[in-house]
Amino acid sequence: MEYTIQELAQMSGVSTRTLRYYDEIGLLKPGRTNDAGYRFYGQFEVDMLQQILFYRALDMKLATIQQIIQASDFQPKEALETHRAALLKRKEQLEQILQTVERTIQSIEEERPMTNEEKFIGFKEKLIEKNEKQYGQEIRAKYGDDQVDASNAKLMNMTEEQYQAMQQLEQQLFERLKEAMEIGDTNNDVAMEVAELHKRWLCFSWSQYSKEAHAGIAQMYTADERFTAYYDERITEGAAQFLHDAIIHYTKK
């Protein structure tokens, strides 16, 4: 059975404009196009669109989705199992936040204060999930599951004060990094303070610190565009490289 672009749009909830864009970038091309230029989609394209929407529900970029579904070893069933696991994890995290909201409302109605730890548990779980989604595979491959799990556990056990201090320290790091970049020397006192702030920020979640691991994280900031973007987008282009260089000097002292 074939579907026109309008029929597929109506069935899937994806606009015809989006389907045309997917065709233009090569993400989802129609099964065939007739002489008049009308697009027709078969069962294969319908199934691929479903996969695309599953990945989009996980906030994955289109370029990444394209690499996955067009890989020679792509297995639809395995992909669906991965979707299920990821969505169940997200469901669990959203349920935790919902429970926190409900407990907060109940505490207000009953005039029974919540502990600060209760207020923030859902947000800490969300932070861990975000980090796992963006960087988990690379970090686990580099440092091992035990170290990453220990780091996540330490984050979950943070008090409200520790969590807020971690956020404030990161903002201080950003400000000092801007100042250090204006000076332009990755080995002066300000740059070393930046590296020290970064170390202190890491130690909020790291179960133990080592100069080797610190330098390893710095290497990932320049080797992986996602890590690079985290600093370059929040500060300015070149921030990740400058931070990398400062940390390398710091860990050699």
Over residues 165-188, the pLDDT tens digits come to 888 999 999 999 999 999 999 999
Distance CA(191)–CA(119), nearest Å, equals 36
Band the pLDDT of 16: cuts 50, 70, 90.
very high
Per-residue model confidence (pLDDT) at position 148: 67
Per-residue model confidence (pLDDT) at position 85: 81
Its pTM stands at: 0.47
In this model, does residue 87 exceed pLDDT 70?
yes
% of residues, the chain, pLDDT over 90: 47
Per-residue model confidence (pLDDT) at position 159: 72
Amino acid at 73: D
Which residues neighbour 249 within 8 Å (Cβ) at sequence distance 6 or greater? Answer: 186, 187, 191, 192, 195
Which residues neighbour 45 within 8 Å (Cβ) at sequence distance 6 or greater? Answer: 8, 28, 29, 30, 31
Q: Using an 8 Å Cβ cutoff, are 220 and 138 in contact?
A: yes
Per-residue model confidence (pLDDT) at position 214: 94
Give the mean pLDDT of 69-75: 90
Q: Which helix (H) or strand (E) holds 220?
A: helix 211-223
Q: Using an 8 Å Cβ cutoff, are 196 and 204 in contact?
A: no
Range of weakest confidence among 71-75, 118-122, 210-214: 118-122
Range of weakest confidence among 28-37, 147-156, 228-237: 147-156
The three-state secondary structure class of 230 is: helix
Band the pLDDT of 90: cuts 50, 70, 90.
confident
